Amino acid sequence: MQEVAVLGVGMHRFGKTGDAIVGTKSVKALCQHAVTAALKDAGVEWKQIQAVSAASSRFSGGKGWGLNGNDVVEDMGSTGIPVYNLSAGCAAGGNAFNIGYSLVAGGIHDMVLVVGGEVMPKGMIQTSGVEEATDPEFLRQRCIGMPGPSFWSTLARRRMFEYGTTEEQFSQVAVKARKNSVHNPYARFQKEITLEDVMNSPYVSNPLRLFQICPVSNGAAAVVICSKERAKQFTSKPVMVASSTVATMTFDDMLPRGLADPITDCPNLHTEAQNAVTRAFEKSGIAPGDVSFTELQDNTCYYELAFPEEWGLCQAGESESLLEAGETTPTGRMPINPSGGFVSFGEATTAMGVFQIAELTWQLRGEAGGRQVPDAKVGLAQTLGLGGNATAAILTR
């Protein structure tokens, strides 16, 4: 196995169709911007890329078939290289990164481009693409009217019952996220908001309010990775990939995922995320206490409180006190989402796992500006996707 380094990263600022940020740009245009930036950051030319691992989706994937990687290759230059298109819902970007990492670590290719980009449809994400009576996602939305925000609200309500979490504390997560994003030139939202702003925003699904849930966005991110030996030709201080993992849910998952799933008393509500993060720690030999900062998937503010506890970053029921003490800010002892997170970016599904790798890289290089985590040495990234998909990655300097 070869050691793997992140050589270059690039991103297109996130926005929505028709705004001043992305206008009416296509997925191809968003990805081209991110790829060009990543190549420039790496100091390499397109012809040096030996393979592409691309996150794709049914929303806007290349040629209507989720062939984003092929569109990128046609756009940048048809050099005959292999393309791997990955679909894993909101975990697609992390999944594509894992494939790219595996190709380099296994010695199959020495320099790989990982890319994800999305133009999202308006409104709440419709997770089921078919009207199929045996599809639990179709049944959840059509029969009981429960899209994503309603699902997240049930998780939030349970936490309120178990730990006494308040609506104000969920709101404080959003306030902290937007304060971080002021310093992130790629975030969709770059203005601070107050606790009152959040508490006065309308309910989407009680107890979750509009500013506590990430919107859908358009955006793209790209990463150039290579072997450690190859990286030495370009930099004396490469960012290293300590581990990259992919996992799915297990039988003891507390959430019913199918029509015949058992209901258990497992305390973990997302075993796929737990499995991916646990394996990332095991493969890297890094302990939760060694993590300098974390970029996690905060579709809603609930996850920023729950996930760190499930992964051993802090004790059960401790997240609220850490939040209120300022310990989850970039200068605290457990920084969470110094980028501003999904709440500040909005979700461009397939780009999110790649965006996290870019943010980890900037932080570990000390290039994150006003959101910089002091002396960042170890970064953890995590995504969660439809179908019980999850990924995790640990980067170090």
User: Does some domain include residue 173?
Assistant: yes
Q: Residue 384's pLDDT is what?
A: 93
Does 349 reside within a domain?
A: yes
> Looking at the structure, do residues 309 and 187 belong to the same domain, yes or no?
no
End-of-domain residue from the set 176, 211, 246: 211
Asked if 200 and 219 sit in the same domain, the reply is no
Q: Both 322 and 382 in a single domain?
A: yes
User: Based on the structure, what is the number of domains in the chain?
Assistant: 2
Residue 292 lies in a domain: yes
**Tens of pLDDT along 132-183?**
666 666 666 666 666 778 888 989 999 999 999 999 999 999 999 999 999 9
Identify whether residues 92 and 43 lie together within a single domain. Answer: yes
Percent above pLDDT 70 for the chain = 88
In angstroms, the CA 330 to CA 225 distance is 26
Q: What is the pLDDT of residues 62-102, one digit of tens each?
A: 777 888 999 999 999 999 999 999 999 899 999 999 999 99
Whether residue 131 lies inside any domain: the answer is no
Is there a domain that residue 38 lies in?
A: yes
Average pLDDT over residues 363-385: 97
Look at residue 57 and tell me whether its pLDDT is greater than 50: yes
Q: What is the pLDDT of residue 131?
A: 66
Residue, of 86 and 331, whose pLDDT is higher: 331
Judgement on whether residues 185 and 225 belong to the same structural domain of the protein: no
User: 240 and 198 share a domain?
Assistant: no
Give the domain CATH number at 315.
3.40.47.10
Number of H helices, E strands in the chain: 13, 11
Strands 208-209 and 218-227: unpaired
H-helix or E-strand containing 100?
Answer: helix 92-105
The boundaries of the domain holding residue 194 are 136-211
Torsion 67-69-74-79 (CA) sign: negative
pTM comes to 0.93
pLDDT band at 253 (very low <50, low <70, confident <90, very high): low
One domain, residues 13 and 117? yes
Q: Last residue of a domain, which of 160, 192, 211? A: 211
Higher pLDDT, 98 or 127: 98
Last residue of a domain, one of 186, 211, 236: 211
Of the given ranges (184-198, 262-276, 296-310, 374-388), which has the lowest mean pLDDT? Answer: 262-276
Identify whether residues 192 and 239 lie together within a single domain.
no
Q: Which two tokens stand for residue 275?
A: 């499995």
- Of the candidates 39, 40, 100, 38, which has an alpha carbon nearest to the alpha carbon of residue 358? 38
| Among 322, 307, 312, 316, residue whose Cα is nearest residue 287 | 312
386 belongs to a structural domain? yes
290 and 342, same domain (yes or no)? yes
Q: What local confidence, expressed as pLDDT, does residue 77 receive?
A: 95
What's the pLDDT score for residue 255? 62
- 114 lies in the same domain as 53: yes
In a domain, 313, yes or no: yes
28-32, 246-250, 300-304, range with the lowest pLDDT:
246-250
Task: With respect to residue 129, please indicate whether it lies within any of the assigned structural domains.
Answer: no
Amino acid identity at 128: S
